[in-house]
Amino acid sequence: MYSKLRNRARGTKLALLAAIMLSVIVSPSLPGSAVPAYAVEESSSPSVDAYRIVAIGDSVTAGYELGFTEKSVPYGFVEQVYEQSLFHGNRTEIANYGVIGLKTNGLKRWLEAAAGGSDAVEASDVQEGLPDPRTDQLFAGTKQLRESLAQADLIVMTIGGNDFLTVVRQDGKTEAAAELKTVLENYKTDLLATLRLIHRLNPGAEVVIADQYLPVPTPYKIGNTTIYSFDEDIRQLLLDGVKQIQEILAGSAELLGNEGLKIKIAGIADGFAGNELGFTSIAKGDIHPNRLGYTVIAKAFTNAIWGDYRTVKPRAAGIPLSIIVKGTELSTPNEPLLMKGRTYVALRDIIDGFGAKLDWNAKGQIATIKLQDRTVDIQIGATTIKVNGKTLKLNADPAFIYKKNGAGKTYVPLAALTEGLGFQVVYRDTLKTIFINM
């Protein structure tokens, strides 16, 4: 799917120019679901107390990078916002509704259908000519979209780039300027309607929307010669368009804020300015962000939401994983252990991180953990655990005593934390990090 759509966009220079304002060319393949399942190696079941993030938008929301195929796993800004929520101690669930080629008007129509009670819509009723091969599947999930939005705590979105395709298709600056004026007026109208629909579906959700970056490289000099990679008059016109988009977003946030909407702006344009070649694949004919570019976008979203962007500390030699407990990185000599594809952690470290009480029965080799309304008994070598007196089969090898430097520590599989204590345990291979939240 990716390669076929990408080659279509590479065919001519016009295709690139038509995509220059963040066109949506491709989006991750999501077999069997209209919403990507952000797979984790270890995780608890869904919780009513989870912090729910919903992403809506285009291929930037989907996390596409040049060279992706239908088997590629995205790591775009949405995935990083998910990780940042885990970093901040939130038990987090996420759903992503990205549609290839979707314009602001198309998103508005889809949300109108969702808000109107439709469980499924035809792709043509949302937007004609969408190149997304999943459109039937996606729009058949309109009920799922409505339910996800209604339950969301946070809604993140990138939308609007495709609205401006007609601007760069004009023959001259005068025509392009006139088209830009019309497009901006329609964008503002559709954006306000879209945001009000989101508010109608979920009055309490926080909404964070990005402005637009321009992937066209600025002119550069070689000696006394200035090299232009794009028509400079049109580039300046597009830059002015980017500024007007920022003004529209700021004005919309203020206007709708007075109506009770919680809207923040993720400013991504400035981060790309002057770094277009480094943060996109424009040199290879693709306007999408690369991995560095997606981190720039993620930082803009994260700073708008939480005020900072977090990372794990450098790991010492021989330490395979980092562990974040309730938003705090563990600093302990008791390194996690990887055995038979499972991760084991020192029980005391995790329990102390949550302020739980731990008692040790040396004779029976039983660790008893008391946290809120749960009492969990974990016995060394047992294939079961007890939760409030009820015996449950452990979906992992038993706990064991790990001896190091003459001292013994009780190590438990992560499954014991999810099944026994109800923690959300998420392993992110991108960071080689385990997140444990209540």
In which residue are the tokens 């999501």 written? 30
Q: How many helices (H) and strands (E) does the chain have?
A: 16, 20
How far apart CA 407 and CA 401 sit, in angstroms, is 9
CATH class of 322-437: alpha beta
Contacting residues for 331 by C-beta, under 8 A, at least 6 apart: none
Residues of the chain with CATH 3.40.50.1110: 2-305
Q: Is the C-alpha dihedral spanning 374, 379, 380, 385 positive or negative? A: negative
pLDDT of residue 70: 67
pLDDT of residue 436: 93
Closest-CA residue to 2 (of 100, 95, 78): 100
User: What's the token pair of residue 348?
Assistant: 């005391």
- Please report, as a single letter, which amino acid is at residue 206: E
Residues of the chain with CATH 3.30.457.10: 322-437
b/e burial code for range 32-43 (CB count within 10 A of at least 16 → b): eebbbebebebb
Its pTM stands at 0.88
User: What's the token pair of residue 293?
Assistant: 């570019």
Q: Does domain 2-305 have CATH number 3.30.70.100?
A: no
pLDDT of residue 14: 35
Q: Give, for all 438 residues of the chain, the pLDDT tens digit.
A: 344 334 333 333 333 443 444 333 333 333 323 333 333 344 554 455 899 999 999 989 988 899 887 678 899 999 999 999 999 999 999 999 988 789 999 999 999 999 999 999 999 999 999 888 788 999 999 999 999 999 999 999 999 988 988 898 888 899 999 999 999 999 999 999 999 999 999 999 999 999 999 998 888 777 787 777 788 888 899 999 999 999 999 999 999 999 999 999 999 999 999 999 999 999 998 889 999 999 999 999 999 999 999 999 999 888 889 999 999 999 888 889 988 888 899 999 999 888 899 999 999 999 999 998 999 999 999 999 999 999 999 988 999 999 988 789 999 998 888 889 889 999 999 999 999 998
